[in-house]
Structure 1
Amino acid sequence: MPSGPPTVVLATTNGRGMGHLSRQMALALASLGGMDPVIFSMSSAVAVAGQFDMRAEFAPGPLRGQVPRRYWDFYLAERIMALIQEVNASAFVFDGVYPYDGVLRALRRLPDVPFIWSRRGMWKPGAGARALRYRRLFAAVIEPGDLASSGDAGRTAELDDARRVGPVTLAGLVRPLGRAAAREALGLDPDRPAVLITLGSTRRSDLYAAYGRTVERFAAEGWQVAVTSSLIAGDGHGTRRPGEPVMISVYPLVKYLSAFDAAVTASGYNVVHELLLSAVPTLLVPNDASVDDQDTRARVVAGQNLALAADPERPTEFEAALDRLLDERVRGRLRDACRDLPPPTGATEAARAVIGLAAGGRVETAERVEWGALNAQRLARRTLGRALPDSVATRMGRTGLLRGAPLSLSPQLLPAPDPARPTTGLRLPPVDPQHLVVTDALLPGLFEKRRVEHLLPGASDAYVAERARIAAEHYRLRPTAAPVGERAQAWARLGWAAGSDEDRPEV
C-alpha cells in the first residue's frame, strides 16, 4: 500500500489565457499537503508550476499542430495513461470546457482511477450541449463558484450533477506583496497612482479603441499605466519607451495587485475574482469568449456595486465609466464593497472533495450509455474521415480534424543536468520546425513555437521508454546528431533516437 498523501494529476486545456492552469494551481495549494499534485497542462505557461515546487509536464494541445488532429486524441489518451501509471495517481482532475475524446478514452481504460471534471459555470446561453453529453462518465463534477452566479443562464445552471463550491482562485492562497515591494518589482513609480489594463486580445477594433482611450485618459490625469502581456504569448518585456505603458508579465498576478489603484479589465473568471477579492477598483469590459458569458458576469457584478462595467462598442458609455473610475469617491466605494466580500473558500472545498475521491478508489459513474455515441464519433473520424470533403467537415464543425500525416522530425535530447535544479545551466534551444525537443526541463518560454516532447522531471527509465514508444507511433523520427551527455545517451538507449524497434532495449 502506498504511504503518504494520494497523488492527483491536475490536467488543464490551454484556453486563451491562464485561467485553467491558475485554478488547478489554486487547488494544489489549497490542499495543504493533503495531496501530491502533478500538473499536466497544454498551456505553454506550464513552467510557472516550478515557482511552487510542483511537478509538471507539458503536452501539446490539439490546435498546436505537433500531432495531426486526426491522431491527437489517441496520443493524448496514451500520454494520460502513461503519466497516471508512472506517478501511481489516485485521481485525475480535468479543468476545461470540453472533455476531449482522449480524456474519455483514458477514463474508460482506467476504471479504478476516479476522473473528475472541474467545470466552471457561467456558460453563454445555448452553448456547450455537445460537451455536456459525457458529464455522467466522470466520477464527479466540481463547479467553481462565481461572484455573478445569480445571473447564470447557461446550460450548467439547470443541472444538478455538480458539487458546487465557492470561487476557486489564487486570491487568499498566494501571499501578496506590500504596495512598495510590488511597485518596485514591476518598475512603477512609488509616488504616482497606477492603473492596470488587462483586456486580453485587442484584435477587436472596439477593444483596441477602448484600450487606447484608457491609456490617454489616465496618462492625461498623471497616472502611470501598466499593461499585462500574456505569459502564453511570451511577449512580456518589462521595459518601455518613454511615454509608453509599462508592460508586465508576471505570475501569479494576484501577488502584485497591491501596486494598483484601479484596473480596466476583461471580465474573465480568474481576473475578475483576483481583482475584486484584492479590493482593486475595477472597470469590467467584456471580451469575446467561445463559452464564458463575460457580458453577464460584468453586468451582474456591476449590479452588486462591486465593480463598474461598460460596453466597448458604446463609446459614450465607456467614456462615462472612465470618468467614474477616475473619481476617488467612486473608487473608495468600490474598495469598501470588495473588502466586505467573504474570503474565497472554493479551492479548499474542491481540494477536500478531490482528496476524498482519491482516497475512496474506484467510483461507479451514473451511466455508460454515452459510450455508444463516443465510439460512433471515433468510427466516423477513423473510417469515414478520409473520404469526407471539406464542405461536409465544415458543416460538422470539425474542419481539418480528419486529415494530416505524422510529422518527420529529428529528436533533440535536452535533459536537465540536475533533477534537483531543473533549469540550471540550460538555455532555450533555437526554434527549428524540423526538431523535436525532448526534455524534462521546465524553462519559461520553452514551449513557445517549438515542438516539444516533455518528460516529467525525475521520471523512471520505464516511463522514458514508454514515452519514446508513444512518440514513435505519432512521429517519423529521423536520424539526428549523437546525443551529448550521459543522461541524453541513456534516453537514446531507451528509445529516444531514430531507429527500429529492434534497437531498443527491454525495460
Structure 2
Amino acid sequence: MPDEAQFQNYDVVLLADMARSSDAGLRLRHEMLALRSQGYRVGLINLAPADGRKPILPDIALCIREGLADPLTPGAELRAKLAVVYSPGLIKEPVKDLAGFKADKVVLVLDRAPNLGQMGLWLSFNVGQMILAPTNRWVRAKLDELQLPIEIEEEDWRSVARAIRPASDHRPTARTRVLGRISAPGGAQWPTTAKEIAATYPNDASFDFRVIGPPPSEVVAKSKVTKHWSVLGSADTTVARFLEPLDVFLYFPSALTPEFPEAAIATAMASGKLVVLPPRFSPHFGPGVLYCEPETALAEIEQIFKDEDELGNLSEQARSYAALLFGQDTYLRRIARLIGRPAAEAPRRTPQAKKSRVLFVPSNGVGLGHATRLLAIARRMGDGIEPIFLGFGQATGVLESFGYTAEYCPSYSDIGAEIADWDEWLRYELGDALERHDPAAVIYDGNHPTPGLVHAALARGDCRLAWVRRGMCPEKPSPYLENSRFFDCIIEPGELATEYDTGPTALRRHESVPVAPIRLLDKEELLSRDEARAKLNLSGDKPAVLVQLGAGANRDILDLTDRIVTELQRFDGVQIVIAEWTNTAVRMPHWPGTKLLRGFPISQVFNAFDFSVSAAGYNTYHEVAAFGLPTIFVANRHPSMDDQGARAEFAQDNGFGFDLREDEMHLFPSLCEAMLNARANAFLRQASRTFETENGADEAARILSQMVLGQ
C-alpha cells in the first residue's frame, strides 16, 4: 500500500466521457466555476470509450486553460472527498485505470433511466460509498421502480444555470432571427420522421437555424429538411458560444427522451432567451418558457416576437426561475452537505494585468490589400489592445516593419492544395496560434471565411470573431459566404464607387457595419513634395509619373509596363518611377531612364508625382483619390478579382481619373497629354476633393475595440 502522502488529494473529482457530443461540457463548466468560487480543489478524469479517443469538448478545454480543474492521469493514485460521475448509464464495459482512485463518496448523476447491469459495473469498482442522483423526476421514478439498496439524493441533481455574455452590440439589427437546439446523438432526440421534423423546425431560409447534434441521417436521407440548417459538430464551438447569438432555443424530441439538454436550456433561460419546449417539460423548467405543441411552435414564435411586452415578461420570468430552479447556491449547499467546506484553499491563478490581444488574420491575395486594411486598423486600436498578425500571404516583413508580431501560415494557393484539404490543416494551425497568443478576438480580412477559420475561433469559447469584408466582390460568390452568420461583427470598408457594386455582398449590406474608405496613412503622414522627391532622387522642376500596376499574379504586368514605359518615354523630361510590390509574383527589370521604387507604403511619396498609371485595387484606388493624385486607371479585370473595372469607370464618370482598358492602349498617349497639361491636371485634383472622406480605419478600430473590450 502506498503511503497516504503519495496520493494526490482533491475535494471533488469529476468523471465523464468528456468528448461525447451533448451539452455535458457546459454542465461541467458551470459546476467547476461554482466549485472554484468556493476554493474547492477539482480534478477531472476523462472516461474515454475503449473504441478510441476524441478531443475533449471545447467547454472543458476552456476550463483547463483557465485553471478551474486539473486533468488527471489515468491510473494515478488519487484520493477525493467526492467523486461525481456523469451519465454512468452510457458505460457499457468496466472502466479501466481506476484501481488507484478512492473517494469518500461517489455520486452517480443519472440523466437517463438506469439498468441493473450498468449499476453493477459501477458498484464493482469499489471506489467509495455510492449515492444515486437523478437529474429529474422521470429518472427518479425509474429508480424508485428498481428499488435498489443504494442511497438516492433527495433533491434532483440539476444543472447550474449561469447567464452567458450578451451577443455583440455590432451585430446587424436587420437580420434573420436565429433559432438553435442542442442534443446528444440518437434518434430519440428527434421526431421520428422527416415529415414531423419539417413540421417542427425551420426548413427554409426564413430563419437562421443552427444545431449541434443533427437528426439521424436515415430519417432525413430523402428529404431536404436540413438543406438550410447550419449543422455544427460538438468540437466546432463551445456550447456557451453557440447560445450567444440565439434569439430562440427550440427543443422538441421524440416522445421517448432518455435525456435532454438541461444545461443548455437552463443557461438559455438564465440569459433571458426565448425557450420553446413541449408542455411535458413544464414541471421541470417552470414558468418563463413558451410551451406549445411542435406543429405550432414556429407560428407561436413569430407571434410572441410581435408582442414586445409578452416577450419581455417571458424573459424576466426565465431569468427568475432559472435562478430558483438551477441556482448556483443550491448546488453549493448540496456539495457542502456532502463533504463540508474545502480542506484548504485551492491554489488560484493570479490574474496579471495585460493588454487584450487581437489576432489579425489577413488572407492571401494578389496584392497586399487584405494585410494593408488590417494594418490600418491595428495602428489605430486603443492602448489596451495588442495586435498580433497571422497572415496567409507573404507580408510578414511588412507587418513586422510596423512593430507587430507577425506569423506566416501558407495559403492553399501557396502550397498547391485544394481549399477544403487546406482548411482542415488551417483549423489546427489557427487553433495552435490561439492557444499560444490567447486573443480576445480574431479579425479576418479576406474573401473566404472557411469553416476551419470560423470553428477554430468558436471552439475557443471566449474569443470574438469579426470580418473586414470588402465589397466589389467577383460575380461568383465565395462558397463560404454563408459563414457570415457566425461573425460577431462585419465591417464593410467604404467604396467610393459603391453605387457601381453589383457583387454578391452588395445584397448583404444589412449584415455589415459600414465605415468610410479605409486607408493605411492619413494625409499628414505623407512626405511633402520636396521631401518625397529628395527621397526618390527626382528633379524638382520636371514632371514625374508613378507606374503601379500591382503584383502581377494574374496578368502580364511586364508586357503592360513595357508598353506604358515606351509611351511615357516619348514625352521629353518625364521622370518615370516604377513601383514593385513587396509580394510581387515577378521582379521588375530595369528600363533605361527609369527608377524602381521598392518598399512599403508607396503612398507615403505620392506628393512627388504629377500623376500615376495604376491598377484599381481597393487600397491604391482610395489612396490616389484621397491624396489627390490624378490617375490613369488600367484596371485588372481578371474574373477572380474584385471589380476594379467598376472603380475605374466611376473615377472617369466623376472626373477624378481615367479608365483605360488594356485593349485600348492606343489612347494612352492622349491621356498622358491631358495629365501633363497644368489646367487639366488641376481639374482632376479639384474633382478628387469632392470625394475626400475621413479615414474609415479610425471608425473600424473604434468599433472593433469596443467589441474586444466589451464596452
Task: Place the TM-score, normalised by the shorter chain, in its bin.
Answer: 0.5 to 0.7
Q: 1:262 to 1:348 in 2, by over 3 A?
A: same
Q: 1:342 to 1:70 in 2, by over 3 A?
A: closer
Q: 1:4 to 1:162 in 2, by over 3 A?
A: same
**Structure-1 separation of matches of 2:685 and 2:611:** 10
What residue number does 1:158 align with?
A: 507
Matched, 1:94 2:434: no
What residue number does 1:248 align with?
A: 597
| Deviation digits for residues 77-119 of structure 1 (CA, Å, limit 9, x no counterpart) | 1222222232221110010011133212313312321111111
What residue number does 2:627 align with?
A: 278
**Structure-1 separation of matches of 2:471 and 2:420:** 30
Matched, 1:258 2:607: yes
Larger RCO of the pair (alpha carbons < 8 Å, separation 6+) = 1
SS at match of 1:314: helix
**Structure-2 separation of matches of 1:162 and 1:118:** 9
- Superposed displacement of residue 21, structure 1: 0.7
Q: Which amino acid in the other structure matches residue 451 of structure 2?
A: D
**Structure-1 separation of matches of 2:597 and 2:520:** 19
SS at match of 1:220: coil
| Contact kept in structure 2, 1:60 and 1:66, CA below 8 Å | no
| Contact kept in structure 1, 2:367 and 2:551, CA below 8 Å | no
What residue number does 2:662 align with?
A: 312
Q: 1:110 to 1:205 in 2, by over 3 A?
A: closer
**Which structure's CA Rg is the greater one?**
2
What residue number does 2:569 align with?
A: 219
| Contact kept in structure 1, 2:551 and 2:580, CA below 8 Å | no
| Contact kept in structure 2, 1:29 and 1:173, CA below 8 Å | no
- Superposed displacement of residue 234, structure 1: 7.6
| Deviation digits for residues 221-278 of structure 1 (CA, Å, limit 9, x no counterpart) | 22011111121138668x956x242111110111111111110001111111111211
Q: 1:130 to 1:90 in 2, by over 3 A?
A: same
State, as a whole percentage, how many aligned pairs show the same letter: 28
1:58-457 to 2 correspondence within 5 Å? Answer: 58-65=408-415, 71-124=421-474, 126-159=475-508, 160-172=510-522, 175-200=525-550, 210-221=560-571, 222-233=573-584, 240=590, 243-289=592-638, 290-360=640-710
- Superposed displacement of residue 323, structure 1: 3.1
**Structure-2 separation of matches of 1:191 and 1:270:** 29
**Structure-2 separation of matches of 1:187 and 1:194:** 11
SS at match of 1:313: helix
| Deviation digits for residues 469-489 of structure 1 (CA, Å, limit 9, x no counterpart) | xxxxxxxxxxxxxxxxxxxxx
**Structure-1 separation of matches of 2:560 and 2:585:** 23
Q: Which amino acid in the other structure matches residue 580 of structure 2?
A: S
**Structure-1 separation of matches of 2:480 and 2:644:** 19
- Superposed displacement of residue 67, structure 1: 7.7
Which segment drifts farther, 260-269 or 126-135? Answer: 126-135
| Contact kept in structure 1, 2:517 and 2:693, CA below 8 Å | no
**Structure-1 separation of matches of 2:480 and 2:373:** 20
**Structure-2 separation of matches of 1:13 and 1:206:** 23
SS at match of 1:171: coil
Q: Which amino acid in the other structure matches residue 57 of structure 1?
A: E
| Contact kept in structure 2, 1:114 and 1:139, CA below 8 Å | yes
SS at match of 1:147: coil
Q: Which runs of 4+ in 1 moved over 6 A?
A: 66-70, 203-207, 234-237
**Structure-1 separation of matches of 2:432 and 2:697:** 27
TM-score, with length taken from structure 2: 0.47
**Structure-1 separation of matches of 2:517 and 2:468:** 12
| Contact kept in structure 2, 1:284 and 1:298, CA below 8 Å | yes
Q: Which amino acid in the other structure matches residue 493 of structure 2?
A: P
SS at match of 1:233: coil
Which segment drifts farther, 318-327 or 85-94? Answer: 318-327
Matched, 1:21 2:371: yes
SS at match of 1:145: coil
| Contact kept in structure 1, 2:364 and 2:393, CA below 8 Å | yes
SS at match of 1:297: helix
Q: Which amino acid in the other structure matches residue 195 of structure 1?
A: V
Q: 1:287 to 1:10 in 2, by over 3 A?
A: same
**Structure-2 separation of matches of 1:358 and 1:107:** 14
| Contact kept in structure 1, 2:366 and 2:552, CA below 8 Å | no
Q: Structure 2: which 5+ runs fail to align? A: 1-350
| Contact kept in structure 1, 2:610 and 2:676, CA below 8 Å | no
**Structure-1 separation of matches of 2:694 and 2:641:** 24
Q: Which amino acid in the other structure matches residue 684 of structure 2?
A: L
SS at match of 2:467: strand
**Structure-2 separation of matches of 1:334 and 1:72:** 46
| Contact kept in structure 1, 2:472 and 2:503, CA below 8 Å | yes
**Structure-2 separation of matches of 1:355 and 1:203:** 34
**Structure-2 separation of matches of 1:20 and 1:30:** 16
Q: 1:111 to 1:341 in 2, by over 3 A?
A: same
TM-score, with length taken from structure 1: 0.65
| Contact kept in structure 1, 2:533 and 2:540, CA below 8 Å | yes
| Contact kept in structure 2, 1:311 and 1:318, CA below 8 Å | no
Q: 1:174 to 1:249 in 2, by over 3 A?
A: farther
Q: 1:346 to 1:266 in 2, by over 3 A?
A: same
**Structure-1 separation of matches of 2:623 and 2:352:** 37
| Contact kept in structure 2, 1:210 and 1:318, CA below 8 Å | no
| Contact kept in structure 1, 2:359 and 2:387, CA below 8 Å | yes
- Superposed displacement of residue 69, structure 1: 6.2
| Contact kept in structure 1, 2:382 and 2:705, CA below 8 Å | no
What residue number does 1:368 align with?
A: none
**Structure-2 separation of matches of 1:313 and 1:202:** 17
Q: 1:329 to 1:214 in 2, by over 3 A?
A: farther
**Structure-1 separation of matches of 2:430 and 2:478:** 25
**Structure-2 separation of matches of 1:356 and 1:173:** 26
- Superposed displacement of residue 204, structure 1: 8.0
Q: Which amino acid in the other structure matches residue 11 of structure 1?
A: V
**Structure-2 separation of matches of 1:248 and 1:174:** 21
Which segment drifts farther, 315-324 or 351-360? Answer: 315-324
Q: Which amino acid in the other structure matches residue 619 of structure 2?
A: N
The number of residue pairs the alignment matches comes to: 358
Q: Which amino acid in the other structure matches residue 116 of structure 1?
A: A
Q: 1:42 to 1:173 in 2, by over 3 A?
A: farther
SS at match of 2:582: coil
Q: Which amino acid in the other structure matches residue 179 of structure 1?
A: R
Q: 1:4 to 1:338 in 2, by over 3 A?
A: farther
What residue number does 1:458 align with?
A: none
| Contact kept in structure 1, 2:398 and 2:600, CA below 8 Å | yes
- Superposed displacement of residue 66, structure 1: 8.2
Which segment drifts farther, 38-47 or 14-23? Answer: 38-47
Q: 1:309 to 1:206 in 2, by over 3 A?
A: farther
